[in-house]
A = this chain, B = another copy of it.
């Protein structure tokens, strides 16, 4: 029973039941509870399920879409801390890019009162900041139903027309070898935003650090500062490559 196989089974199980506790999953797949816990944490890091105390719940696009993510997720606090720190870097008058990751979305709550300009391809971000002090610039193009964001050539062309002081970006994986994404569309978007801003911040919870994904699309020096919630060997290597790192606790 490999991880791939278990991943499929767990997601299938959740699809059927809506929710499941560790014991149930362990029994169902004939694996230990420790392994289930490990798997659930990995899947939660990919936003494929909501981790709860003692189990997991299915991600319902219809229910969760309005808020983008369950506010009671178990690892929400790490993201919150990362974003609170990120918000400290934003000054009045800044023009910032925000992309469509779930961590970046959490930044919204900390910048609502700031008089800044926000350029984003994320629909949830736009909705969240609708009645804030910030001026919103929505990047145009076809809306991807799954991640509720706009990607593609039109989007990149739109981004190229603007210049920002700071960019706050998410990502699917980062190692000393480079930045990883799960799709070329997201990668090109990330790259465009980074290239059009003076300073680039990467907001990553520890689940993404040291992890590789489908596509390695850039060197780590595309970003200036990584804000994350856990120190480690990988972090040291990133520092050696010249990436500034802020660890929050």
Interface residues of A (CB under 8 A from B): 2-5, 7, 19, 21, 42, 46, 50, 52-55, 57, 61-62, 65, 70-72, 123, 126-127, 130-131, 135-143, 145, 148, 150, 154-155, 158, 161
Contacts and interface: CB of A to CB of B under 8 A. Distances in A.
18 contacts: A3-B52, A4-B70, A5-B19, A5-B57, A42-B72, A61-B131, A62-B131, A123-B126, A130-B143, A135-B142, A137-B140, A137-B141, A137-B142, A138-B138, A138-B143, A140-B141, A140-B158, A154-B158
- Number of this chain's copies in the complex: 2
Given A138-B143, A141-B140, A3 B127 contact: no
A143 B150 contact: no
Contact of A130 (B46, B72, B123, B150): B123
Given A4-B50, A61-B131, A138 B158 contact: no
A52 B142 CA distance: 38
A138 B150 contact: yes
Given A140-B139, A141-B137, A142-B137, A148 B161 contact: no
Contacts of A130: 65, 123, 143, 145, 148
A44 to B, nearest CB: 12
Given A2-B53, A2-B55, A52-B5, A143 B137 contact: yes
Contacts of A5: 19, 52, 57
Contacts of A139: 140
